[in-house]
Structure 1
Amino acid sequence: MGTLVGHVAPGFGFLLIGLWHLFNHIKLHALNTKSYISLPWFPTIKFKYMELLLIMGGCSASIAMELFISPERHQPLDPDWTIPSNHLHNFEHSSISMTFFVYAAFSIILDRMKINPNYHHHLDHDYGLTQLLAAIAFAQELLLFHLHSADHMGPEGQYHLLLQLLILVSLITTLMGIGLPKSFLVSFLRSLSILFQGLWLIVMGIMLWTPDFVPKGCFLHLEEGHQVVRCSGEESLHRAKSLINIQFSWFLIGITVFAVIFYLILLKFYYEKKKSEYVSLTKDLQELQEEEEEEEHHDSSQLGDFDLESRNKKPILLGNANSFLQMGKSFGPIDMER
């Protein structure tokens, strides 16, 4: 981090994950309102662990960028193998990425172990342990941003302060999800906070490291190898922080409106889809029932025809038998000579 790309790239990742979770939680709740259970991650159609592998890939790229690509010597240590002051923030940022990497890796391992019959009965099926790993990752992120080694007293500090509020919401809702796996609102808020984290990181990167967007009375200043926004006086600093607060409040309103509209659209879509599937299933059952009734009617009509033929044949046989008896009676006794 500490640059435009360093904030926009991870922000884009958080934004995608948050939007992906928001979509899937709404979909899952719309299709299974009564049996809804929150999930910490969602499989894709083509590949089950796509989300988790993307997290691992993004974290690996972030670690490589912080520790090996960004430093001038392509390694963050001094010649005596100590960590220099200007690279402390690189280790802090990479530690956050490592924690999310651990979460994603163990999520795959735990899910694979559930398939194994030897461990099937010993693992929880509500993803409680996976949720705990996610909570640890958010706690690590919150801790390191709160105790950041960089000087965050200026506008950058205000951006990070508001970012910590979003991380705190993600942490609390993730912990609540362990005890309330059937709560849609908890999952909805967690997804929204992750989405907002990503959006705020993108905004931070653009607003702090694009010269045209630097607040009036402030300027970019090179310190310890990276640029920092500084303000010329207390009035300029106060104005810059106030603008950041207003910006945050506007984004909060915008995301709230987006989330509710997104929820209503998906709810209507999946309700109509569910309704059409129900109507289609009802029609199929009715057609099947009608076919069965027709077959029963056809069988009963054939059975009726068979009974009618049997009844028509019986008098004929009786008539023949009677005539035969009458013929026997008409002949008199015949004396047989021996």
Structure 2
Amino acid sequence: MGTLAGHLVPGSALALLGLWHVINTVRAYHLKGPNHFRSSFWHPFMSPFSKFAYTELIFITFFSVFFIIMQVLDYPLFSFAFKLNNYEHATMFLHLMIFASFTLITVITHKSDILFEVSGVLAASVFGQELFLLHCHSADHVGLEGHYHSLMQLIVFVSLLSALSTTVFPSSFPSSLVLSISVLFQGLWFINMGLMLWVPEFVPKGCTIRLGHGGDSDMHGAVMCGTNKAGLRARALANLQFSWILAGIMISVGCICLFSSKKITPRVQSSEYERLNSRVAEIPLSVTGFKQVNYP
């Protein structure tokens, strides 16, 4: 993953997955209403009864297997050289594959409702292992690259907390929405890291990109800043990018919520109407329950 493609490909996949979850989470909330909403760690494609319904889980499983193979084979060298870097990245996708394959089996066997909490624990383990391996990475990311990875750990930490919260409180719309947003943010930040650290044209002023060759300790792409002032400026730019990307996500989520509220009639009104009708229907029953007593 220490290449431009190694960041753009998984970053794009995560961003699309996060956007897919944001749209479906908001849509489900507007359709079911706050009283009937239930979180989901996956969403069917097209319709639950379609043959393409399990596309998301199948895609995640095969995508994870593909990236594990690419890391073990040390793409683009395609050799079986044991590199801690690559095996750490492969382990992240291993946990993602475990979550997706287990959830797929529960859906196929119609046990997804019973084992919802188990899928939630596995989803949380994906982010927990990602956070652990990023924090204790064998490749010592220093300087600007280390700062980008520190900001990435903040996003993953939010994903971990929101996954646990969604597991414990499956009817919580905010937890489910934050989880979807954090996955989208992870993907976009991965893409941003790839561009800012591996494309010479995007490297901040006063810094240069150094391409490593061979050896586990040698980083594939490391940005080196000539002066302390240039390094501080580059970190400040990274902080601004972090805030700007988050602002763009929040604007997009707000627009999705507003658009969905116009297109979909909330279920809350119908449920209140049904509750009012049920109360009216109960009145005659209570009246007929009294018997008229005639005294002699």
Alignment-mate amino acid for residue 187 of structure 2: G
Q: Using the alignment, how far apart are the partners of 2:78 and 2:15 within structure 1?
A: 32
Aligned CA-pair RMSD: 1.9
Q: Using the alignment, how far apart are the partners of 1:64 and 1:214 within structure 2?
A: 30
**2:8–2:191 CA contact under 8 A, matched in 1:** yes
Residue equivalent to 2:41: 40
Cα distance change on mapping 1:247 and 1:73 into 2, 3 Å? closer
Q: State whether structure 2 residue 168 is matched by structure 1 residue 179.
A: yes
Q: Using the alignment, how far apart are the partners of 2:245 and 2:211 within structure 1?
A: 29
Cα distance change on mapping 1:50 and 1:43 into 2, 3 Å? same
Q: State whether structure 2 residue 247 is matched by structure 1 residue 258.
A: no
Alignment of 1:322-333 (within 5 A): none
**1:26–1:266 CA contact under 8 A, matched in 2:** yes
Residue equivalent to 1:3: 3
Residue equivalent to 2:105: 109
What whole-Å deviation, never above 9, does each CA across 1:312-336 have from its counterpart, x for those lacking one? xxxxxxxxxxxxxxxxxxxxxxxxx
Q: Using the alignment, how far apart are the partners of 1:166 and 1:176 within structure 2?
A: 15
Question: How many matched pairs?
Answer: 259
Q: Using the alignment, how far apart are the partners of 1:40 and 1:139 within structure 2?
A: 16
State the shift of 1:113 in Å: 3.2
Alignment of 1:108-187 (within 5 A): 108-114=104-110, 125=114, 127-187=116-176
**1:68–1:75 CA contact under 8 A, matched in 2:** yes
Residue equivalent to 1:75: 80
Q: Using the alignment, how far apart are the partners of 1:67 and 1:212 within structure 2?
A: 30
Identify the match of residue 216 of structure 1 among 205, 211, 215.
Answer: 205
Q: Using the alignment, how far apart are the partners of 1:151 and 1:223 within structure 2?
A: 13
Q: Using the alignment, how far apart are the partners of 1:227 and 1:250 within structure 2?
A: 24
Alignment-mate amino acid for residue 40 of structure 1: F
State the shift of 1:229 in Å: 1.2
State the shift of 1:126 in Å: 6.7
What whole-Å deviation, never above 9, does each CA across 1:73-125 have from its counterpart, x for those lacking one? 52123xxxxxxxxx21111101001110011011112223335xxxxxxx853
Question: What SS class does the counterpart of residue 265 from structure 2 fall into?
Answer: helix
Identify the match of residue 65 of structure 1 among 70, 75, 82.
Answer: 70
Residue equivalent to 1:292: none
**2:74–2:81 CA contact under 8 A, matched in 1:** no
Residue equivalent to 2:54: 49
Q: State whether structure 2 residue 264 is matched by structure 1 residue 270.
A: yes
Q: Compare the two structures and name the one with the higher helix fraction.
A: 1
State the shift of 1:12 in Å: 0.8
**2:44–2:56 CA contact under 8 A, matched in 1:** yes
Larger Rg, first or second structure (1 or 2): 1
State the shift of 1:249 in Å: 1.0
Q: Using the alignment, how far apart are the partners of 1:224 and 1:143 within structure 2?
A: 26
Alignment-mate amino acid for residue 171 of structure 1: L
Alignment of 1:87-106 (within 5 A): 87-106=83-102
What whole-Å deviation, never above 9, does each CA across 1:130-163 have from its counterpart, x for those lacking one? 1110000110011001111112111111111111
Give the TM-score of the pair, scaled to structure 2. 0.83
Cα distance change on mapping 1:212 and 1:71 into 2, 3 Å? closer
Question: What SS class does the counterpart of residue 271 from structure 1 fall into?
Answer: coil
Structure 2: tracts of 5 or more residues without a match = 215-219, 271-296
**1:21–1:41 CA contact under 8 A, matched in 2:** yes
Alignment-mate amino acid for residue 11 of structure 2: G
Structure 1: tracts of 5 or more residues without a match = 78-86, 116-122, 279-338
What whole-Å deviation, never above 9, does each CA across 1:273-322 have from its counterpart, x for those lacking one? x89xx9xxxxxxxxxxxxxxxxxxxxxxxxxxxxxxxxxxxxxxxxxxxx
- Greater relative CO (CA pairs within 8 A, separation 6+): 2
State the shift of 1:224 in Å: 4.3
State the shift of 1:187 in Å: 0.5
State the shift of 1:241 in Å: 0.7
Identify the match of residue 245 of structure 1 among 239, 245, 250.
Answer: 239
The structure 1 segments of at least 4 consecutive aligned residues displaced by more than 4 Å after TM superposition are none
**1:56–1:104 CA contact under 8 A, matched in 2:** yes
Q: Using the alignment, how far apart are the partners of 2:143 and 2:119 within structure 1?
A: 37
State the shift of 1:2 in Å: 0.7
Q: Using the alignment, how far apart are the partners of 2:259 and 2:93 within structure 1?
A: 34
